[in-house]
A = this chain, B = another copy of it.
Amino acid sequence: MTDEQESGFTLNPRYDANGLLTAIVTDEADGAVLMVGHMNAEALAKSMASRTAVFFSRSRQRLWQKGESSGNILHIVDMRIDCDQDAIWIIARPQGPTCHTGARSCFYRRVTDSGLEPV
């Protein structure tokens, strides 16, 4: 990390060894975290250009337009980057449920001392 990456106003992402950033998506309506994905440089560029979330699928090793099969697109309302420029926060207007399970958010279970429970 350089001072410029931390305090400057140039977009200069710090990709990991696999060329990826962490991307967090929250719902503009109430701040709920909807999902976490990853973006390579191309996914970030396509997200910015289309104002819809495009990720890089680590399992399929290819670009993945969120909603490409389900239609459940994430419209980007605002995008932030963190201090060391290795994570992106997308504030989105979701078109339909975000999780592939059909849940509104991928985070549909609470972690408790005795296991998980539905939220």
- Residues in chain A within 8 A of chain B (CB atoms): 6-11, 22, 24, 26, 30-33, 35-36, 48, 78-84, 87-89, 99-101, 103, 106-111, 113, 115-119
Contact = CB atoms under 8 A, between A and B. Distances in A.
Given A31-B26, A83-B100, A99-B83, A48 B115 contact: no
A26 to B, nearest CB: 6
A111 to B, nearest CB: 4
Nearest to A109: B81
Contacts of A99: 83
A86 to B, nearest CB: 8
A107 B119 contact: no
Given A11-B115, A31-B30, A115-B11, A79 B110 contact: yes
Given A22-B22, A33-B89, A80-B110, 8 more contacts: A9-B109, A11-B115, A11-B116, A26-B33, A48-B113, A80-B109, A82-B107, A83-B101
Given A31-B32, A33-B26, A101 B6 contact: yes
Contacts of A89: 33, 107
A88 B103 contact: no
